[in-house]
Each structure stands twice: as structure tokens, then as C-alpha cells.
Structure 1
Amino acid sequence: MVGSVPDFQHERAALQRGALRVAGVDEVGRGPLAGPVTAAAVRLDPARIPAGLRDSKTLSAARREVLCAEIMAVAEVGIAHASVEEIDALNILRASHLAMERAVAALKADHALIDGNLIPRGLTCSATAIVKGDATCLSIAAASIVAKVTRDRIMVDLAQQHPGYGWEANAGYPTAAHLDALRKLGVTAWHRRSFKPVHNILYQANSVTS
């Protein structure tokens, strides 16, 4: 799907079925070892859709920033998170769905177009799951951009508070540099203890001290 151009057909179909407030929903941050998972819900104005919306993973960081600003200027946007504590308590899939539910609630949508093959069980509106939705659906592409830019900014801020892990560059993902820093510097409050690399380091530390 890389290189494909998303369109407005999914939104148009929901509007034709009687929905009034249709939002695309996507999340970012399932894979990292640190930081929250972030979701965005975006309701686009069909007459004011920014040009060049794509799956955020296919865009440069600079292009995402530009598009995010354009989306925020012309669309209705809900942004929400699930915390590290919630990720560890619930599991990452449920936490990512919780963030999606919160983003949709913030937007007060009456139909949600969800990226993926699962519909979060706590949604307060009807929904459609769209596999590879960020590559085919304009509203989901917009949500993927907003969620990515928002979470990246959070990780840059956290990197200043916890230098050495490279979060400003790796956004908390398990790069070789991040894993090396984990072993050398230890686990922070922002690391997901339920994730195996972090859990293993904590287990090793406890074994040494016990």
C-alpha cells in the first residue's frame, strides 16, 4: 500500500448511511519500550482537506509537521493517550484501544473509521474497521499524522528529562542504542515494564541484588 493515495470514499459512505460526524481514528506507539500510546480522531471538512495526506509512516518528519499544522487548522481533532501504567496493567492492545476510545469521545463523533481489523469495545458510537486504513482513508491518514507528530513531541520532551536513551530520535522504539542505554542506565518510570526487554533487565537487576 506504500505510495497509494487515500480518498474520501469511506467517509462518504458513512455520511450516506446517515452519520453526521464521521471521524478517522489511528494510534501510534504500540511498539516502543517507553512512553504512552497516543491516538487521534480527525473529522475532516470535505471542502478543506489538506493536500498530500498519506499514511504518516510514508512521510518525512518535516512533512508530517507541516501537514499536522494544516490538519489542526481546518479539521476537528481529538487527541488522547493511554499511560505507561495503563499499558502495563491492561496490555498494549487494550491500552491502544482505550486511547482511541478517548480520542473519539473528545471529538464527539457518531461514526468512527478505525485503522486496523478490530473495533475498540468501549466506543460510544458506531464504527467501521479498515485494514490499512491509513493508506486508503483520508481521515485515518490525517489521524495517523496527528498522532505521530503528537507522540514524537512527547518523546522529545521526555528525552530532555531522561538523556541518554535517544528518545528524541527513536521515539522509545527498541533500537540498538536504546537497548544499550537500558542496560547501562537502567529503567526509567517511562519504560513499559510489561515489555520483555524491560522486564528482563529488571529481572536481571533484581537477581543481582537479591
Structure 2
Amino acid sequence: MKSAAPTLRFERSFLDSGHRFLAGCDEVGRGALAGPVSVGLVMIDLSAVTGLRGVRDSKLLSPADRIKLVPRIQKWALAYGVGHATAAEIDDVGLMRALQLAGNRAWEQVVVTARPDAVILDGNHDWLSPREQATLFDADNLKTGALDGVALDADALDAEIFTGCDVPVHTRIKADLQCLSVAAASVLAKVERDAMMVAYAADHPQYGWEINKGYATAGHRAAIDGLGATALHRTTWRLGTGDRITMPRVEIGG
């Protein structure tokens, strides 16, 4: 698919505010029925960064082209990270909170090298910034959670949710198409998540995850109808072909 190449134009506008280290952030796996939601974070040094040819939003690239770009992006970036939140965590704390968990896990990988001054986040909703305070409901959900069959560490999740990225987060619609750092983050997240789904497919070959990567294809839904859900499915979602009105409909997304 042809598209204009993303640039550093928007990123460089942050120099006027005195920002030097800027991170682009994007998620993949939001609309899948199985597997994690994954968040990529790519930090650049605005005082030194140059362009990077070939990078596009991950959805516009072939799998082979995405894989080839990974080492180039890693060399180009000042720092990078990819964080994941599992299907069990999505069921436990909801999709937005799971995105926050995954984003904070990517954040922790980046700040080992340097701390971003600000983040550009694809979309129009800031799910990355920490919540101001927990509620009793949040705490109960965390304490009763499970991570792919293993009890979740509520204290650890509390720390991830209510700390982490605490710099300004600037949302921008279509940032993955326009901003080079965000497009690069989407590629890293997509390649890493796809590899996880291919690995999971070896133990669950009937669901076609090596092809559909956990998304809601007709074949995937039919397999769930016939075989049931696995521990890697988001069991609070509508999974099969039947209209289970007690379960939320799948969000469409990357």
C-alpha cells in the first residue's frame, strides 16, 4: 500500500519547548481475540537524529519488510522497548489498563538508557499516563488476577500502574502514519508480538495463530466454537461465532 513516508517534522517541533529526548509510542494487538496487547516505544535524540528510509506504520508493510527494519530501527533509536500485557491481564484489569501495563513495561526498558522529555502517542486517548489514584475496585481486581494460569503479583502490578511514564504525553491521531518515531515503535511492537503468536501456534496449531496472529478471522472463531478457548484467549470477550451478549464486542484496532 502506497503512503507518504512519515517524517520527523512533528517531533522536531518539540525542540521549541526545550525537549531533546522524545519517544514515539504505538500499540498492536488491541483487536485480537488471543495473545497479548503489545506497546512499542522508540526514543530519539532530537539534537542528532536523522531520517530513516523505509519505515511506515507496521500495517502498511509486509512481514518480511518489518523484520528487515528491526535492526535498522534499533540502531537508529537512542533507546527502544516493547512491553506486553497478557490475555489474562486484559481479562483481569480491562483493555485500557492492560495497554498501560504494557506501555509502562516498554517505558522501563527505555529509561535504562535515558529518560524521555515527552511522548507522542498514536490516537486520541492517553492510556499511557499513570492514574492519579487507585480505587478499591482496582485493588480487588489486581489481587484476584491470574497471568496465564499463574497468580498475579498485585503489589508489582500496583507499582506498574501507578508509576511509570510520568512525562507529558501528547496524543496525535494518525501519528503512526505521520511521525517517524511512532511508526518505528509500531514496527518493533508488531514484529515482536507476531513472533510470540507464531511460537504459541506450535502448542495450539488448530487456531491458525501463525497466520491470523490471534485476530478475529472466520477460521479462528470457528476453531473456538469447536474446541473452546485456551488460556491465551481473552475469555471475557466475544470469541466464537455466536453472539454472546454478555461479553463485550471486539474493538477494531492494530
Tell me whether the two structures share a fold, i.e. TM-score over 0.5: yes
Cα distance in 1 between the residues matched to 2:243 and 2:206: 17
Shift of 1:202: 9.7
SS in 1 for 2:40: strand
Shift of 1:184: 1.7
C-alpha distance in structure 1 between counterparts of 2:123 and 2:243, whole Å: 32
Q: Does 1:26 align with 2:26?
A: yes
Matched, 1:121 2:124: no
CA distance in 2, matches of 1:49, 1:153: 27
Of 99, 102, 112, 2:119 maps to 112
Separation of aligned partners in 1, 2:240 and 2:94: 14
Coordinate RMSD, CA, aligned: 2.2
Work out whether residues 5 and 177 of structure 2, in 8 Å CA contact, stay in contact via their aligned partners in 1. yes
The 5 A counterparts of 1:94-109 are: 94-108=97-111, 109=116
Unaligned segments of structure 1, at least 5 residues:
204-210
Q: Is the 8 A contact 2:8 2:51 kept in 1?
A: no
Q: Secondary structure at the residue paired with 2:186?
A: helix
How many angstroms apart in 2 are the aligned matches of 1:201 and 1:158? 27
Counting matched residue pairs gives 203
Distance 1:18 1:199, change over 3 A: farther
Specify every segment of 5 or more residues in structure 2 that has no aligned partner in the other structure, as ranges. 131-164, 246-254
1:170 to 203, 212, 227: 212
Match of 1:61 in 2: 63
Residue of structure 1 equivalent to 2:198: 156
User: Does the Cα contact within 8 Å between 1:65 and 1:149 map onto a contact in 2?
Assistant: yes
Displacement of 1:62 in angstroms is 0.7
Q: Indicate the larger mover: 134-143 or 113-122.
A: 113-122
Shift in Å, 1:69? 2.1
Q: Which has the higher helix share?
A: 1
Structure 1 position 83 matched with structure 2 position 86: yes
Amino acid at match of 1:191: H
Residue 232 (structure 2) aligns with: 190
CA distance in 1, matches of 2:52, 2:6: 12
Alignment of 1:5-44 (within 5 A): 5-44=5-44
What secondary structure is seen at the aligned counterpart in 2 of 1:95?
A: helix
SS at match of 1:124: coil
Instruction: Give CA-to-partner distance per residue, 1:134-175, whole Å, 9 cap, x none.
Output: 000000000011111010000000001111100000000010
Whole-angstrom distance in 2 between the partners of 1:14 and 1:69: 26
